[in-house]
């Protein structure tokens, strides 16, 4: 028997084991059809049921109001960085779109948007190496803007918005890629939320986009059909061949989440997991967190050791005991433990045990 490996990778990330087992078990013969889920038409009634089921489960899990559409859009999260201004900048006569820069993906989001609108960064924490969520108060939000975009959880650093800014009539758009369904949120506060599937939902390459219906009316005429949210909503995400496999796996992950007790239940476990690691970091000078404590989320725990040599040794020895993919993002360095919904408590406990032992041997 090979040893149990815990995958702390940031994305693509681990999926729940029971989901992987079900995918394996029915891979060659989907529901007695004698063919695989990846071999049937996206317009087959069996796939249509998969899609509608996934959307319904998402709606139940989030208590999503009826006036929101759930879309599966090609291109992962980053494609939405362009799709958002294409679809929504037209809400403002001057195409003014507001962004908060709280990390690497937040920065990319406004960079990609620049081709399609008058992009204004109203707050940034770049000057303190993204160790916090920058303060935003309502007076900073121009009510003539098309929208305000924020990154819910900053994947490289582990910081998150504990509460989202009040935006008045300006729709709030949240990139939830690394925290989708990890905590209870009131979706009626959002104009649009979206996530690449590969962190908390399923395979890479597709994004789940949730958008309020009244926001479907502003797409620029240049918007490619496959990025046009109104077209996508009208075709229920089947404008062309959808990523059927990704949607199928996502549906199973959503079913698994319901079996765990839903978002409130997983949120409790996520808090417990993050607390184990942050308590350990707070109890020693040996491990140093990269963000200020009041901005900590529960999905990505990023920290440093006293030297790069020790970090290299830590990663090597962690790998040898089955703690996989703990290396921090190439632009930040250090260690990052991504502990998404699918990471069991036992994986976090094993990592904490390894950290304590490493400190006592190398401290
Ligand atoms: C991973 C990530 C992305 C990029 O996702 P892709 O699907 O690779 O485009 C964007 N935003 C956030 C917050 C992420 O964590």
CB 325 within 8 A of CB 311: no
- CATH code given to domain 19-259: 3.40.640.10
Shortest-distance Cα residue to atom 5 of ligand 1: 77
CB 70 within 8 A of CB 210: yes
Determine the distance separating the centroid of ligand 1 and the alpha carbon of 175, expressed in angstroms.
8
CB 151 within 8 A of CB 323: no
At residue 197, the pLDDT reads 98
Q: Is the CB of 348 inside a 6 Å radius of any atom of ligand 1? A: no
Helix (H) or strand (E) holding 147: strand 147-151
At residue 216, the pLDDT reads 98
Q: Could you say which architecture CATH assigns to the domain 262-362?
A: Alpha-Beta Complex (3.90)
Neighbours of 45 (CB within 10 A): 9
Distance (Å, rounded) from C-alpha 346 to C-alpha 7? 12
At residue 332, the pLDDT reads 85
Domain borders along the chain are 19-259, 262-362
Q: pLDDT per position in the chain (363 positions), as tens? A: 578 999 999 999 999 999 999 999 999 999 999 999 999 999 999 999 999 999 999 999 999 999 999 999 999 999 999 999 999 999 999 999 999 999 999 999 999 999 999 999 999 999 999 999 999 999 999 999 999 999 999 999 999 999 999 999 999 999 999 999 999 999 999 999 999 999 999 999 999 999 999 999 999 999 999 999 999 999 999 999 999 999 999 999 999 999 999 999 999 999 999 999 999 999 999 999 999 999 999 999 999 999 999 999 999 999 999 999 999 988 888 999 999 999 999 999 999 999 999 999 998
Helix (H) or strand (E) holding 210: strand 206-212
Neighbours of 26 (CB within 10 A): 16
At residue 312, the pLDDT reads 97
At residue 59, the pLDDT reads 98
Distance (Å, rounded) from C-alpha 293 to C-alpha 295? 5
Pocket test for ligand 1, best of 74, 109, 177, 297 (most atoms within 8 A of CB): 177
At residue 1, the pLDDT reads 56
Closest CA to 151 of 199, 116, 117, 115: 199
DSSP 5-58: -EE--SSS----HHHHHHHHHTSSSGGGSSS-GGGS-TTSHHHHHHHHHHHHHH
Strands 159-160 and 153-154: antiparallel
At residue 181, the pLDDT reads 98
Residue 198 CA, closest ligand 1 atom number: 7
* Helix (H), strand (E), coil (C) string for 285-348: CCCEECCCHHHECCCEEEEECCCHHHHHHHHHHHHHCCEECCECCCCCCCEEEECCCCCCHHHH
Determine the distance separating the centroid of ligand 1 and the alpha carbon of 357, expressed in angstroms.
33
Distance (Å, rounded) from C-alpha 311 to C-alpha 305? 6
Q: Is the CB of 105 inside a 6 Å radius of any atom of ligand 1? A: yes
Taking CA atoms, 27 is separated from 67, 243, 273, in Å, by 35, 16, 32
Q: Is the CB of 177 inside a 6 Å radius of any atom of ligand 1? A: yes
Whether this model's pTM surpasses 0.85: yes
Q: Is the CB of 178 inside a 6 Å radius of any atom of ligand 1? A: yes
- Predicted confidence (pLDDT) per residue in 142-158, tens digit: 999 999 999 999 999 99
Closest CA to 78 of 117, 116, 105, 118: 105
Q: Is the CB of 329 inside a 6 Å radius of any atom of ligand 1? A: no
At residue 2, the pLDDT reads 75
Q: How is residue 162 written in tokens?
A: 């504990």
């Amino acid at each position: 028997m090979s040893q149990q490996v815990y995958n702390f990778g940031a994305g693509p990330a681990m999926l729940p084991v029971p989901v992987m087992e079900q995918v394996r078990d029915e891979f060659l013969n989907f529901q007695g059809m004698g063919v695989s889920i990846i071999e049937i038409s996206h317009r087959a009634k069996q796939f249509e049921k998969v899609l509608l089921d996934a959307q319904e489960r998402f709606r139940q899990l989030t208590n999503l109001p009826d006036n929101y559409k759930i879309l599966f859009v090609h291109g992962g999260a980053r494609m939405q960085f362009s799709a958002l201004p294409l679809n929504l900048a037209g809400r403002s006569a001057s195409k003014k779109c507001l962004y908060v820069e709280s990390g690497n993906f937040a920065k990319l989001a406004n960079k990609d948007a620049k081709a399609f609108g008058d992009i204004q960064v109203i707050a940034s924490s770049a000057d303190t190496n993204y160790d916090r969520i920058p303060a935003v108060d309502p007076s900073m939000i121009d009510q003539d803007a098309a929208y305000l975009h924020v990154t819910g959880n900053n994947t490289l650093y582990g910081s998150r918005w504990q509460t989202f800014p009040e935006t008045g009539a300006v729709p709030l758009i949240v990139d939830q890629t690394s925290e989708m369904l990890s905590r209870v949120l009131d979706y009626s506060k959002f104009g649009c939320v979206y996530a690449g599937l590969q962190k908390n939902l399923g395979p890479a390459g597709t994004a789940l986009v949730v958008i309020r219906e009244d926001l479907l009316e502003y797409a620029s005429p240049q918007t490619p059909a496959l990025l046009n949210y109104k077209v996508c909503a009208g075709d229920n995400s089947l404008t062309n061949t959808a990523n059927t496999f990704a949607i199928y796996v996502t549906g199973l992950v959503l079913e698994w989440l319901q079996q765990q007790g839903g978002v409130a239940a997983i949120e409790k476990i996520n808090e417990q997991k993050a607390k184990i690691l942050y308590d350990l970091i707070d109890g020693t000078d040996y491990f140093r967190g990269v963000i200020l404590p009041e901005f900590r989320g529960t999905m990505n725990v990023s920290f440093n050791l006293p030297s790069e040599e020790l970090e290299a040794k830590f990663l090597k020895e962690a790998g040898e005991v089955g703690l996989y993919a703990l290396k921090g993002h190439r632009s930040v360095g250090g260690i990052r433990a991504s502990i998404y919904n699918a990471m069991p408590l036992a994986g976090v406990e094993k990592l904490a045990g390894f950290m304590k032992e490493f400190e006592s041997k190398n401290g």
